[in-house]
Amino acid sequence: MTLLSRTLATALIASTTLTQIAVAAPRPAGPPAPQAAVADPKLAQMKADAVANIDGHAKLVQEMVDSVFSFAEPGFQEYQTMEYLTGILAKNGFTITKGVAGMPTAWTATWGTGGPLIALGSDVDCLLGLSQVPGSPTLKPLVPGAPGHGEGHNAGMPLIIAAAIATKAVMEKNHISGRLMLWPGVAEELLGAKAFYVKAGLFKDVDATIFTHVSSDFGTAYGNLGNNALVSVEYTFHGKTAHAAGMPWEGRSALDGVEIMDTAWNFRREHLPVTQRSHYVITNGGGQPNIVPDLASVWYYFREQNFDSVRNLYNLGNEISEAAAKATGTTVERHLLGYAAPNFANKPMAEAAYANIKAIGMPAWTADDQAFAKAVQQANGRTLKPLPTEIGPLSTPETRERSLGGGSDDIGDIMWTVPTITIRFPSNIPSMIGHNVLSAIAMATPIAHKGAVAGAKAVSLTVLDLMTDPKLLADAKAYFRDVQLKDQKYDPVVAPTDQPAIHLNQELMERLRPKMKPFYYDPKKYPTYLDQLGIKYPNLKTE
């Protein structure tokens, strides 16, 4: 055992012993008490072995993080990412199933027999128009107009894969029964996949799920996380063409229908709850000005806090679209493109994960890491804030500020299906803007690599807790059943006839992929992606 492994084992035993003492005190009646990990030297040794395994795969983590960054594939077009990641998993003894839930880029990787089935997932898609040279403090696209990882999804599945490889090795060595199922969050930025995973029964036999998401901190949370539910829907208006100057009275403008809907919706906003968020883009406004457009489309995101309120918002959008069609003599149809349930994380699992996060601690940032983070912040007018060196407190319903609306994440659909938590891992720089090129700058640098390694350890250790402690899993299921599902149930607007919108981004990638391929990372030739791009880390040039 390495010195690091011995130190971690000692820390884990000490940490769990203190937790046992705290839990032994009388507790008020209510939800199940948080399950303390057993102060068992054998379990501590298994965890230390998992940590050592992940440290031994740090180079693989770096290669995976950099490779997925270089592929830069948006929702439903993650083909290169799929082939690359499933190839690594297949070589490590996992059984691969591609095209799950009717999505060509979706897959599962399974291993194990008997025991609990623990699902592990993270998102893999990127965002349109956010191509960025990694390791450059200033904004500079790799391929102008191309997609890029301005959310940092390139680090999540590499983390999960490293955690799964380590967990599998420990389970085999110690003859632990149990199963792992890895899955990717495809098209998360479109909120386009996870509701269809659930609809297809992908999590039917799963006992618990651990999800990860990139951040600049390292932590987890439980309870209602404040993420909004979301409905993604495209309204398509049908009219009648005519010469726009010679015989406009013969036409019926589909674009008029779109514009009146948008105008009516914007007037109605004033009289909606402050918690709602709604936004749209016109995806088809017609062909040319002298032809009355007979086809026009607008794509809406409706967001609200819970199942009922987002359904009401969606219904209101439908009513306004129909009114706009009547006003313009057109017809309208709608196509559901995606859905996301509100997020609600499991308390016993979060407490177990947090204990492991505390034992692992933040990555050991170097002076170069801190200097690079500061250079990025200075070059882009962001608040100066160093890479954090301490683990923050566990986020709870009592310590979080009340949410008045905001972003969405379709992990919520899985959270309402099986006990689930999200572990945030520290692979990005504080003060960056989400869904922006600023969030891509660090995502193929040592900061991203170290954060992913730390996150992999937290996932692996928490899986081992679930595999070896039946009470923890029982408590997680009890919390899910008796607390989370007490007052509301999973109630999506997804209809039986709705299908994943796998056509999205296809034409875009057919046009841009040839320009992007020369920038794919080749780990056989270059130690890191920065080396391939000729960037010396840390690059502190801000002019």
Q: What are the DSSP calls for 74-107, one per residue?
A: BTT--HHHHHHHHHHHHHTTPEEEESGGG-TT-E
446-468 and 41-56 helices cross at what angle (nearest 10)? Answer: 150
The predicted model gives 276-297 an average pLDDT of 97
What is the tens place of the pLDDT at every residue in 472-507? 999 999 999 999 999 999 999 999 999 999 999 999
What is the tens place of the pLDDT at every residue in 436-454? 999 999 999 999 999 999 9
Which CATH number is associated with domain 39-223+341-467+486-531? 3.40.630.10
Query: What is the rounded CA–CA span in Å between residue 463 and residue 206?
Result: 13
Q: Provide the pLDDT for residue 403.
A: 73
Show me where the domains of the chain are located: 39-223+341-467+486-531, 227-338
Q: Provide the pLDDT for residue 59.
A: 98
What is the tens place of the pLDDT at every residue in 511-522? 999 999 999 999
Residues 6+ apart with CB under 8 A from 108: 96, 97, 100, 181, 182, 183, 202
Confidence label for 11 from pLDDT (cuts 50, 70 and 90):
low
The predicted model gives 272-281 an average pLDDT of 95
What is the tens place of the pLDDT at every residue in 118-137? 999 999 999 999 999 999 99
- 33/154: higher pLDDT: 154
What is the tens place of the pLDDT at every residue in 82-121? 999 999 999 999 999 999 999 999 999 999 999 999 999 9
- 243/13: higher pLDDT: 243
Q: Provide the pLDDT for residue 210.
A: 98
Query: Which ranges constitute the DSSP H helices of 25-153?
Result: 41-56, 58-71, 79-91
- Write out the E strands in 105-253: 107-113, 117-123, 178-185, 208-215, 223-224, 229-238
Q: Give the three-state DSSP class for 499.
A: coil
- From 56, 61, 51, 57, select the one nearest 4 (Cα to Cα): 51
Query: What is the rounded CA–CA span in Å between residue 453 and residue 57?
Result: 9
The torsion region of residue 329 among left (phi > 0), alpha (psi -120 to 50) and beta comes to left
What is the tens place of the pLDDT at every residue in 254-263? 999 999 999 9
Confidence label for 38 from pLDDT (cuts 50, 70 and 90):
very low
pTM to 2 decimals? 0.92
Query: What is the rounded CA–CA span in Å between residue 218 and residue 369?
Result: 17
* CATH top-level class of 227-338: alpha beta
The predicted model gives 241-249 an average pLDDT of 97
Q: Provide the pLDDT for residue 401.
A: 85
Q: Provide the pLDDT for residue 12.
A: 55
Q: Provide the pLDDT for residue 14.
A: 45
Residues 6+ apart with CB under 8 A from 176: 115, 170, 467, 468
Query: Which ranges constitute the DSSP H helices of 146-217?
Result: 156-173, 194-199
Token pair in block for residue 19: 């937790």
